[in-house]
Amino acid sequence: MTAAPTSATPSPKRRWPRLLAITLLTLSLGGCVACKVFHSGPYRAPELLPEAKLLDMHVHTAGIGAGDSGCFISKQMESSWKLGIYLQSFGTSREELQAKGDAHVVQLISRQLAESKHVGQAILLAMDGVVDANGELDKSRTEIYVPNEFIAKETAKTTNLLFGASINPLRKDALAQLDWAKANGARLVKWIPSIMQFDPADKRLTPFYRKLVELKLPLLTHAGQERSFTHARDELCDPQRLHLPLKLGVTMIVAHIASTGANAGQRDTDRLAPMMATYTNLFSEISSLTQVNKLGYLREALTRPEWQGRLLFGSDFPLINTALCSPYCYPLQLTGEQCRRISAIENPWDRDVELKQALGVPKEVFARSRQLFP
């Protein structure tokens, strides 16, 4: 007697890869359909770039103290997983810096910038640290220190990098350092109050602000949340703490439209925006706004009326050279072909510019950095 045939039912172990493949295919097709249905295009109609090469007013370097640079990083930062990724985004490593010195990073930046077809110059930023009760640098509480002398010396060797100073206003010689920075070609002063641990609203800083006005040095200040360091007092980067320098006439540039932070139950971006109508000496900039952790902020910068006529172009290099910035984060604004073309651009500045251009950053924003820093 012949046995009846049995159905070949796959075992659960053999079935799950097929189900996973079907699920992924369904999600992929669904995503493609959703992108087609909900595709809204760029935040603004893209415009041609300025004829002259752009000035990037927000570029960082790195240093570990190699080659007598005077730079240093804290032990906590040195052991952080962020350091290796950060150095890799410059195209170097700790071992290479130990062999060639910290000036090698500046050389790499200058070389990559020289290869850009869109960006011709950049302001390279120093980074001051925390100051103790005697007005001296407190290394025990400072995570990253990049001295003005190092940046001034290395940028002077190039034609495409400009000196951006950094001075903690609580230093006992802060006013003398401002004079020195100006005499050595500084184009601006950069702060991160939450990292340098001072309050911009402190009235003791009034002489510092008056000296900035006298020297015609703009102040680039971080506002909003700060997560590039291991510790930050974000309340010190509340935009509402900037009224004192603004009332004294300091030309103020608030980085990143104060994105991602909040104070007093209100987003820092919303705390900054109304101030634009009060102070004609107040500007902001668009560096870092294409990062995956800041989705939506570039749309606000380009469409909210408060920012019109007040935005500058900056990149926040080297972060534009990391996975944080990708055209594939914008499937509703860019086509697949645009994403492929932009992501294939090798030069980080050209990739950044063309992504921002495709999303609708207007010509006048790209040009304003050069106008403010001729």
**What is the pLDDT at residue 229?**
75
pTM exceeds 0.75 for this model = yes
- Asked if the structure places residue 27 within a domain, the reply is no
Are 273 and 254 spatial neighbours (Cβ–Cβ below 8 Å)?
no
- Position 294 in a domain: yes
Residue 366 lies in a domain: yes
Q: What percent of the chain is helix, strand and coil (3-state, nearest 5)?
A: 45, 15, 40
Establish if 94 belongs to a structural domain: no
Q: Does residue 100 lie within any of the structural domains?
A: no
- Ordered mean pLDDT values, 10 residues apiece, the chain (374 residues): 50 58 60 66 98 98 97 90 91 96 98 99 98 97 97 99 99 99 99 96 99 99 80 89 99 97 95 98 98 96 97 98 96 97 98 99 98 94
| Number of domains into which the chain is organized | 1
What angle do helix axes 174-183 and 148-155 make, rounded to 10 degrees? 0
Q: Looking at the domain assignment, is residue 258 inside a domain?
A: yes
Instruction: Provide the pLDDT for residue 7.
Output: 47
Residue at 103 is within a domain: no
- Cis peptide leading into 331, omega within 30 of 0? no
Q: Looking at residue 9, what is its pLDDT?
A: 53
Residue 10's region, left for phi above 0, alpha for psi from -120 to 50, else beta, is beta
H helix intervals, 141-200: 148-155, 174-183, 193-196
Q: Which residues contact 4 (CB under 8 A, 6 or more apart)?
A: none
CATH of the domain at 298: 3.20.20.140
Segments forming the whole domain that contains residue 263:
124-313+323-346+353-372
d(CA 283, CA 276): 7
- pLDDT score recorded for residue 33: 60
Residues 6+ away with beta carbon under 8 Å from 151: 61, 106, 124, 125, 126, 163, 164, 165
Q: Which two tokens stand for residue 225?
A: 């949340």
Rounded to the nearest 10 degrees, how much is the dihedral formed by the CA atoms of 145, 316, 57, 191? -40
Specify the pLDDT at position 27.
55
Q: Is residue 78 part of a domain?
A: no
